[in-house]
Amino acid sequence: MYGFSKFYNKYLLPLLLLSLWLIAVFLLSDRPAHSQHPVIFTNKEKYQSNLLTKKIMPSTLTENVRKTVLENGLTVLTKEVHTAPVVTVQVWYKVGSRNEEPGVNGIAHQLEHMMFKGTRNRPIQFGRLFSALGSDSNAFTSYDQTAYYSTVERNKLKALLVLEADRMRNSQIEPEQLASEKRVVISELQGYENSPEYRLNRAVMQAVFPNHAYGLPVGGTKADVEKFEVEQVEKYYRNFYSPDNAVLVIVGDFQTANTLETVKEVFGKLPRQRAEGRGQEAEVISSSLSTQHSALSTPIVLRQPGAGRLLQVVYPLPDANQPDVPVLDVMDYILTEGRNSRLYQALVESGLASEVTASVNSLRESGWYEVLVTAGSKQDLKKIDSMLSSAIANVAEKGVTSEEVERAKTQLTTDVILSNRDITSQAMRLGTDETTVGDYSYTDRYLAAVRLVKSADVVAVINKYLTKEARTVGFFEPTQKRITEVADKPDSAQTTENFSFGAPVLFSEVIKYLPPVDLATDTIAQVLPDKFKFTNGLRILLLPDHSTPTVTLSGYIQAGTEFDPDNKAGLAAFVADNLLNGTKSKDVLTIAKVLGERGASLDFQTYREGVHIEGDSLAEDLPILLEILADVVKNSNFPVKELELHRQQTLTELQLELDEPSEVARRVFVQSIYPKKHPLHTFPTEESLQQIQRQDVINFKTKHYHPDTTVLALVGDFDLDKVRSLIKNKFGDWEVSGQAPTLKYLPVAMPKKIVSVNPVLPDKAQAVTYMGYTSINRYDPHFHAALVLNQILGGDTLSSRLGAEVRDRQGLSYGIYSSFQVGKNVGTFLIEMQTSPEDSSKAIASTRQILQQIHQQGVTALEVETAKRTLISNYNVSLANPEELTDRILMNEVYGLDKVELHSFTDKIQKVTLTQVNQAARELLHPDQIVVVTAGPSVLAEKSIR
């Protein structure tokens, strides 16, 4: 769903959604099972341009970008990338929260929402049109820009251009729609308000920028949103949404000359800015707001309900065009990236903190460096702040080594190369550069500067910017202890509200307003991975792809949380999380250093049915990545010191999780469906985590980590025979005695009636509801029909039945989705929504009515055809992303499917019939036998959802 970007540097929003059949193996886990080391071996989503290494990528990444400016002022950036038959179209407007002031805070974000409501030419929800095209479309608002992006098969390019040009000129803002969408935005803001981190950040930023819009929350405030009038939003639309204030970015498989002719045909007729005068209004705002920073001598202290102590420190920085920015990014990596980083060593290794993160934010008019620390259990924030200051002062006094600088530059380089392998990300980078600094080739200047950074430069920027006098500090001190266990006796309740639906939009209307398009999709090259099986049972799948000098590794070990003992829940995650903490030949810091020096990443995440391995590196560093992986799965020795440090981090993370409505709702939902002693019922608790001993970890690893239950998939720039030989050399001697354990899943009965559960989290602003029951697994004959059914029901928060009614027409939810989450052994049907507390009852009732409607009446043939086209197009687009492609190859093997499933999946979807979908609706949708869990503030307990 669309929303706003909290931090400019974290602009890489969710891009290409995985199909439900892929992610569902990690059953009912919207996050990995319990905690990971939060700053170890992870790629930061920060604002950096694509970095180059001379020996890998000698030319600039922007060398084949072409910039064209139309007569009406529209800037067009095109970049041909012919690795897959897909294309992304993005429209970036040079307006964001920077163009606001108190009283109208959030209006850019509100306008972004309204841009999906339809135009004079197409009075229909645009999400429906994008879905009908099979487009992965979304939008976001940030400080300096608002962007709309869609990625499709290449034959849909012109259709996307037509839609974007239409809403650039002809969007309509109707009073009724604005009222509905304001409720949605308020629900979204309430979700952010649930987070102590968000509330602390808002208070600190207002203090840092008291007289500039950068101190205002990007999404706005409830008080301001409630007061927005149609005329205000229309004025912003007229002033800022015009071709001379926009950048059109097109990246992918197209011919530049032909595409530019199409762009001129579609956009060239649109007039320039056509109202009071955008420049004059911007000057008025700028004259009243100053980028002059403010620093407080004493910390801001928020004493509010919450679960953990937080420390946030913000240092003002220059704008993105200033020469110190590349040095500051290198500095940040030295301070906070990885286990060897200075602040991790000072704060986390000492036990003072469970997590430390930081980011350099470089914007159009200013910037800042922010450090966020999550305190360890019972640790004092003043002591942590003192240690933080001392650590930074120590770096300034004693300097940094050339080894640290080179490692940081390599990490930064590799991170950005790896995060820009898909066309959507490449277009995001171009749009960001052009709208922030006015130069899409800013990347090249930035790269050259990064390569020149020296140790003395890092010390200089620390002394210049990270001074105690310049910083603003915020403390979050929780005023009450949150619940430490989640338990709530289910109530049986029948929803009694009766809502009349608005006239549904017929799918014939969707087709009516859809721009002309050749609906015949491109034939995707039938390239399949090569599969090998070693004598020890290890399976590997290899697919060479020489489009970028990188390699993506995805793996699976059958050692998930389903094997957790009842009294030691969390053990499976304990094992996976500590694999990288030392082996017989390497300690934790050596492992971190070896990976960090190459910018490689390796991580283990524990889910219900397995441990997922994620790894990325430059192609030349694949041998190192595989060497470390083989060493840790075979030889990890779980040092006592590291286990105890991890235990404390995990306990802190548990406290924080039980303060989140989404996590509480998920736990109660799962435990309301699956009875005790069922493999899915168990969740970690403080007591169970304290019970885990080192010998338990060793025994679990020995018992469950077997080569014959492990699968590795690699996609990237490598020679097939060489990599096969390399893997055999590293893993061929991995022998484990005995058979790996298996589980028998007993059938779970459906609830006999509606079961309603309301765990209360005091003082939360937004409620989260989970609705569902046990359902099909991956091997059920209804599987493909269920995917089509789900796409119609709730596969998209704008175009689905649930989205159109609950979110779009009634404005009751910021986001509502449904899914059939399927595993090897079991599956669950799930609907998730976020609502204002006062809207929960209405949203639940409306959802049940839609389930009842589809269960009894079925869906239409046109809905089925549209859903199939959407699923197929999204699937084809996903194959252009190396990480998604690798995961699909992996999970097909895990499920025991033939490797041809990689391309036959779309044929199976295409063959689904209306009869099969309606049969699935009758057999799989049970509106009167459903578990409903709503976690949120106490008002829910008073009103209930009966």
Distances (CA, A) of 494 to 541, 772, 773, 931, 946: 50, 15, 16, 11, 6
How many other CB atoms are there within 10 angstroms of residue 14's CB atom? 9
Chain-centroid distance of CA 213 in Å reads: 26
Let me know the angle formed at the C-alpha of 619 by 618 and 621, rounded to the nearest 5 degrees.
70
Instruction: Outline where DSSP puts E strands in 10-157.
Output: 65-69, 75-80, 86-93, 136-141, 146-153
pLDDT of res. 760: 87
- Looking at 419-541, list the stretches that DSSP marks H as alpha helix, in order from N- to C-terminal side: 423-437, 442-451, 455-465, 507-513
Exposure of 253 in the CB half-sphere (CA atoms within 13 A)? 16
In residues, how long is the chain?
946
pLDDT of res. 447: 79
Residue whose structure tokens are 């459906």:
750
What residues contact residue 284 under an 8 Å CB cut-off, 6+ apart?
Answer: none
Residue whose structure tokens are 């939810």:
813
Query: For residue 373, what are the β-bridge partners?
Result: 311, 356
How many other CB atoms are there within 10 angstroms of residue 108's CB atom? 28
What are the tokens at 308? 């953990």
Cα 472 from Cα 381, distance rounded (Å): 14
pLDDT of res. 481: 57
How many other CB atoms are there within 10 angstroms of residue 10's CB atom? 15
What are the tokens at 915? 């009869």
Exposure of 223 in the CB half-sphere (CA atoms within 13 A)? 4
What residues contact residue 234 under an 8 Å CB cut-off, 6+ apart?
Answer: 173
What are the tokens at 758? 């309301």
Tell me which amino acid residue 167 is.
R
Q: Do residues 611 and 573 make contact, with C-beta atoms less than 8 angstroms apart?
A: no
3-state DSSP of 729-792 = HHHCCCCCCCCCCCCCCCCCCCCCCCEEECCECCCCCCEEEEEEEEECCCCCCCHHHHHHHHHH
How many other CB atoms are there within 10 angstroms of residue 776's CB atom? 21
What are the tokens at 92? 């970036």
Backbone angles phi, psi at 520, to 5 degrees: -75, 120
Report, as ranges of residue numbers, the positions in the chain whose pLDDT lies below 50: 1-2, 4-59, 275-277, 280-289, 484-503, 941-946
Q: Do residues 831 and 771 make contact, with C-beta atoms less than 8 angstroms apart?
A: yes
Backbone angles phi, psi at 371, to 5 degrees: -120, 130
Q: pTM of the predicted model, to two decimals?
A: 0.90
How many other CB atoms are there within 10 angstroms of residue 537's CB atom? 15
What are the tokens at 245? 């204030």
What residues contact residue 397 under an 8 Å CB cut-off, 6+ apart?
Answer: none
Tell me which amino acid residue 540 is.
I
The percent of the chain in helix, strand and coil, each rounded to the nearest 5, is 45, 20, 40
